[in-house]
């Protein structure tokens, strides 16, 4: 099915690969102002306002890209009628601070979304219990090394916020690190779902295309379960929309490196191999499944082929290595837990995919440097058609529950899991007398600093929201 790229916001279907991002958290103070603001963003008139970027292909990369998400309380503030508001999925209505609550403090029934202790919503700087309600999240992406635009566009946007009676609650900056690395030193941004009908990245991938209905709301879009995620949301608002969880995650780089060194010494393991085992890829992005022993593999595994692998044989790759025991790539590693690919998994394989649009924030910590106490981490959008079935399931169950999947009992995601206070554990399989090595005392390496859930409406949906006030013209 041909997608109407001009009606879809660009950050779902394309990775802008920008170097800089600024996310503005905004509150609407009166509906007409909010409507006028949105009308300007989709007016096609650059003089009036910077414009929302769509998924249409470009020949030359623009000097900025811009996308808007609206929270459920934002839809309310913009004047969406109560009956329509009630049609949205419960997770989106409730938002991440509410959803984070642990159903059972003993973690017997799960850990909410892992946002407990220091990561609890009471501590958040955005979207938390003590912070103002966010209505809209406006994400501006630039390439400051190419053309310095962020200050100029921010100044322009701030004039418009003032003219439209919007309150800027906060702005959150992220800046890419060299070679697409994140603060633990790994290369990121390699694996993304290929969405049926969408312009596809050329990188080979052994996974099937994701159904368009897993990412886009719309009457005609079928999801992997055979239904569609539009539900009863009116098409004029929901068509070509998607959902996103914005999340700010502080990373304990010093704690991470110390863990690698200490456990490496203890078990006579190269800290680089240990880092690869925790993620499932070497820090340069080479997957363990393709290159279990070295980060500088066979030259045939080019940068282009870093996503061409599976954990088991499958359709189109029937003789592929079967890593059922996790000897190459641990079953508990970050990328294998959060996308088991063709490996055995509870439920339906390939059904819980996420588009990740994250970028590091804060300055890098030099290798071997002492802890400087400076905040650094990762922030961005996790995009999917259903927050509960995709994003929340991945975080709640695959990252944070000691699920019954073979090899995972009693463990949580080593990078992002809410480890028990006594420390988590992680299993590394070896082919020698040490097998299996059980690494204990794994600290919690990530602290949640804030989160909001957004609807990312299609362009028609934004025009519909603009028409609710008198700023639609
Ligand atoms: C600071 C926190 C995080 C760090 C440092 C991190 C780091 C990484 C890295 C380096 C990769 C491998 C690069 C790639 O395959 O493209 C990756 C993949 C991935 N991450 Fe994370 N991540 C973080 C948080 C999260 C969270 C919160 C989620 C889910 C809610 C998540 C879901 C995924 C998924 C689904 C993949 C792709 C797996 C695949 O398809 O093979 N990550 N992450």
DSSP per-residue string spanning 205-241: -SSPPBPGGGT---TT---TTSS-TTTTS-HHHHTT-
Q: CB of 354 closer than 6 A to ligand 1?
A: yes
Q: For ligand 1, say whether the CB of 279 is within 6 Å of any of its atoms.
A: yes
Q: How confident is the model at residue 111 (pLDDT cuts 50, 70, 90)?
A: low
Per-residue pLDDT for 50 more than 90? yes
Q: Measured in angstroms, how far is the CA atom of residue 3 from the centroid of ligand 1?
A: 27
**Ligand 1 midpoint to CA 157 (Å):** 31
β-bridge partners, 356: 382
What's the pLDDT score for residue 104?
Answer: 58
Residue 107 CA to residue 449 CA, distance in Å, equals 21
Contact yes or no for 319/313 (Cβ under 8 A): yes
pLDDT digits (tens, 9 = 90+) for 320-353: 999 999 999 999 999 999 999 988 766 677 889 9
pLDDT for residue 199 = 86
- The minimum-distance atom of ligand 1 relative to the CA of 281 is 12
Percent of the chain whose pLDDT exceeds 90: 81
CA 203, CA 337: separation in Å to the nearest integer? 22
Which one has a higher pLDDT value, 123 or 2? 123
> Is a pLDDT exceeding 50 seen at residue 471?
no
pLDDT recorded at residue 107: 47
Least confident span in 148-157, 298-307, 355-364:
298-307
Is the pTM higher than 0.85?
A: yes
Which atom of ligand 1 is nearest the CA belonging to 249? 1
Least confident of 24-28, 111-115, 444-448: 111-115
Residue 459 pLDDT greater than 90, yes or no: yes
Q: Chain-centre distance of CA 39, in angstroms?
A: 28
pLDDT category at 105 given cuts 50, 70, 90 is: low
Using CA atoms, how far apart are residues 49 and 37, in angstroms rounded to an integer? 8
464 pLDDT more than 80? yes
Q: Please give the average per-residue pLDDT across 244-260, as a whole number.
A: 97
Cα(368) to centroid(ligand 1), Å: 24
186 lines ligand 1 (CB under 6 A): yes
Specify the DSSP class assigned to residue 134.
Answer: P
Mean pLDDT of 399-427: 87
Across 162-171, 364-373, 464-473, least confident range:
464-473
Whether the predicted pLDDT of 108 surpasses 50: no
DSSP state of 9: B
Atom 36 (ligand 1) nearest CA: 335
Q: Which contacts (CB < 8 Å, 24+ apart) does range 412-417 have?
A: 412/114, 413/332, 413/334, 413/337, 413/338, 414/278, 414/332, 414/333, 414/334, 414/442, 414/445, 415/184, 415/278, 415/279, 415/334, 415/445, 415/446, 416/114, 416/249, 416/334, 416/445, 416/446, 417/114, 417/444
pLDDT in tens, 68-84: 999 999 999 999 999 99
Which of ligand 1's atoms lies nearest the C-alpha of 190? Answer: 16
């Amino acid at each position: 099915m041909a997608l109407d790229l001009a009606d879809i916001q660009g950050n779902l279907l394309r990775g802008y690969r920008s170097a800089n991002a600024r996310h503005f958290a905004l509150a609407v103070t009166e509906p007409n102002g909010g409507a006028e603001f949105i009308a300007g963003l989709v007016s096609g008139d650059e003089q009036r306002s910077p414009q929302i970027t769509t998924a249409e292909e470009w020949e030359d990369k623009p000097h900025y890209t811009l996308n808007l998400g609206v929270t459920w309380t934002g839809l309310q503030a913009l004047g969406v009628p109560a009956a329509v508001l009630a049609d949205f999925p419960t997770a989106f209505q409730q938002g991440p601070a509410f959803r984070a609550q642990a159903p059972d403090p003993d973690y017997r029934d799960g850990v909410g979304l892992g946002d407990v202790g220091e990561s609890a919503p009471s501590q958040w700087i955005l979207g938390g219990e003590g912070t103002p309600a966010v209505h809209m999240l406006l994400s501006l992406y630039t390439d400051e090394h190419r053309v310095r635009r962020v200050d100029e566009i921010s100044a322009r946007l701030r004039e418009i916020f003032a003219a439209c009676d919007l309150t800027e609650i906060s702005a959150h900056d992220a800046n890419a690190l060299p070679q697409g690395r994140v603060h633990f030193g790994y290369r990121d941004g390699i694996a993304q779902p290929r969405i049926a009908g969408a312009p596809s990245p050329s990188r080979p991938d052994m996974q099937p295309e994701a159904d368009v209905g897993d990412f886009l709301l719309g009457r005609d879009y079928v999801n992997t379960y055979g239904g569609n995620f539009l539900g009863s949301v009116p098409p004029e608002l929901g068509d070509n929309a998607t959902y996103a969880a914005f999340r700010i995650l502080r990373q304990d780089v010093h704690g991470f490196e110390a863990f690698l060194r200490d456990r490496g010494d203890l078990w006579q393991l190269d800290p680089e191999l240990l880092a690869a085992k925790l993620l499932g890829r070497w820090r340069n992005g080479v997957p363990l499944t393709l290159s279990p022993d070295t980060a500088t593999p066979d030259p045939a595994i080019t940068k282009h082929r870093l996503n061409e692998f599976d954990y088991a044989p499958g359709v189109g790759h029937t003789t592929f290595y079967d890593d059922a025991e996790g000897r190459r790539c641990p079953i508990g590693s970050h990328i294998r837990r959060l996308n088991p690919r063709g490996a055995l998994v509870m439920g339906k394989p390939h059904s819980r995919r996420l588009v990740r649009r994250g970028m590091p924030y804060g300055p890098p910590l030099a290798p071997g440097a002492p802890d400087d106490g400076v905040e650094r981490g990762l922030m961005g959008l996790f995009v999917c058609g259903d927050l509960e079935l995709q994003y929340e399931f991945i975080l709640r169950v695959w990252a944070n529950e000691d699920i019954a999947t073979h090899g995972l009992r009693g463990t949580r995601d080593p990078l992002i899991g809410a480890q028990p206070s006594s420390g988590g554990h992680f299993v590394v399989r070896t082919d020698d007398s040490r097998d299996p090595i059980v690494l204990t005392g794994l600290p919690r390496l990530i602290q949640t600093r804030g989160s909001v859930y957004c609807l990312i409406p299609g362009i028609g949906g934004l025009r519909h929201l603009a028409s609710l006030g008198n700023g639609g013209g």
